[in-house]
A and B are shown apart, each in its own frame.
Chain A
Amino acid sequence: MKEIEASAITQAIAKLCQEANFTLGEDVLSALKQAHRTEQSPLGRETLNQIIENARIAREERLPLCQDCGTAVVFLEIGQDVHISDGDLYKAVEEGVRRGYHQGYLRKAMVSQPFSDRINTKDNTPAVIHSEIVHGDRLKIMVMPKGGGAENMSRMAMLLPNQGKKGIIDLVLKTVDEAGGNPCPPLIIGLGVGGTGEKAMLMAKKALLRRVGEPNPDPEIAQLEKEVLVRVNALGVGPMGFGGTTTALAVHAEVMPTHITSLPVAVNLQCHSARHKEIIL
């Protein structure tokens, strides 16, 4: 049994919220630089150049990469041999988000009652927390500030089983094409297939945490990712929707078994400001 103090979790989350907003991962940055080399549209290249330069300024000056500092999506992988002492785990997470967004001069974006009052909660809480019990005695915390522009363009569909692979690809293409410049391409596309409706979307979201371009270990799924990426980049949407050959940097798919009657497919779009940071306690 390992003891982890709730206050250590708060501290870790506060730091991760800030680091994620100031520093773009080197995997994302190198994918953007690669895209800059291959993009055929001059305007597309100029746009990628601005995005790369923006990451440098944000890192060096500790300014948020984007004024939309996102919903704080927090993934917790809790070892079954971990005991949280001196406090409530979820409260510790919320307090970490509160402190991180305050200390980092991050924009607070959460509003109360989504279909009526919409009053800003002023501290970016509540966070969206996904927790999972895993083997071992460690606590892994991943913080993903998720911008609204890309999240708003996410889609899901309960396909008929006989729509198969073609149905999956068509849904992604339709989603990305209709979204155009709104979700701030070049995108990372999270694709969740199988399970149930809510599970498919969660898989799609979690797939975004993978290193950019790292294929699914299953060769058939990796092949699907590759095929979808080629087709998406043939749409012509391009960086910021201005036209070009780079609409997505990567497709990350997660797949699980499903019900005999079902083919749930979820597409979670991630903008080029693909922010997430993690720590293991």
Chain B
Amino acid sequence: MNITSPISSKVIEELTVGTSVTISGVIYTARDAAHQRIIQSLDNGDKLPFELKGQTIYYMGPSPAPPGRVIGSAGPTTSRRMDSYTPRLLAAGIKAMIGKGSRSPEVREAIKQYKAVYLATTGGAGALLAKSVRQIETIAYEDLGAEAIMRLTVENFPAIVANDIYGGDLFEQGKAEYKRG
């Protein structure tokens, strides 16, 4: 299924666990350090690095772009490091997250409550995933280097629905299906 980011509420309703998607449009990178700062800004009522409402966050810090390239290797990092911040960001309007690995019960609950989606992509496939990145612009927290917030324009970025608004969980379901003995 081809989807556009920001992802509309209508499309989010159609995204169920196990659905393969290719994403085109705009996504924002943020890892733990950036999450911490966004939460601080929310607490203090400061200006946010980007308008959170409806947006997609990709848990990723790329390797440096070699000359003539848009970006270096650009695969997902482990999502659970963001779990403690995620419900707050979902409450503030974030609609989709892309990363690797499973989420905490609190995050899964918040995904249901705020009608959002968690998409998993293949860790360690950074060279392949970099091919989907057309444009990159650092928009905030430049001092964080690879962990700064970047605005990416992507085309046909592959991912799979891992947590949906119906409470489904790809990791639990997948494991249950193939567990033997």
A contacts, CB < 8 Å to B: 40-41, 43-44, 46-47, 50-51, 53-54, 57-58, 61-69, 105-108, 120, 122, 147-149, 152, 180-182, 184, 231, 234-238, 240-245, 271-273
Contacts and interface: CB of A to CB of B under 8 A. Distances in A.
Interface of B: 18, 20, 60-66, 69, 72-75, 77-78, 80, 100-102, 120, 122-128, 130-131, 145-146, 158, 160, 170-171, 173-181
A180 B101 contact: yes
Given A54-B125, A105-B63, A271-B124, A182 B78 contact: yes
Interface of A is mostly: loop
A220 B107 CA distance: 45
A181 B124 contact: no
A64 B126 contact: yes
B128 A243 contact: no
Contact of B178 (A66, A107, A238): A238
A64 B73 contact: yes
Contacts of B170: 242-243
A55 B49 CA distance: 35
B69 to A, nearest CB: 8
Given A69-B63, A105-B66, A107-B64, A240 B122 contact: yes
Contacts of A68: 75, 77, 126
B127 A43 contact: no
Contacts of A62: 66
Contacts of B73: 58, 63-67, 69, 107
A50 B64 contact: no
Nearest to A243: B174
Contacts of B130: 63
A181 B102 contact: yes
A133 B130 CA distance: 42
B115 to A, nearest CB: 23
Nearest to A48: B122
A241 B127 CA distance: 20
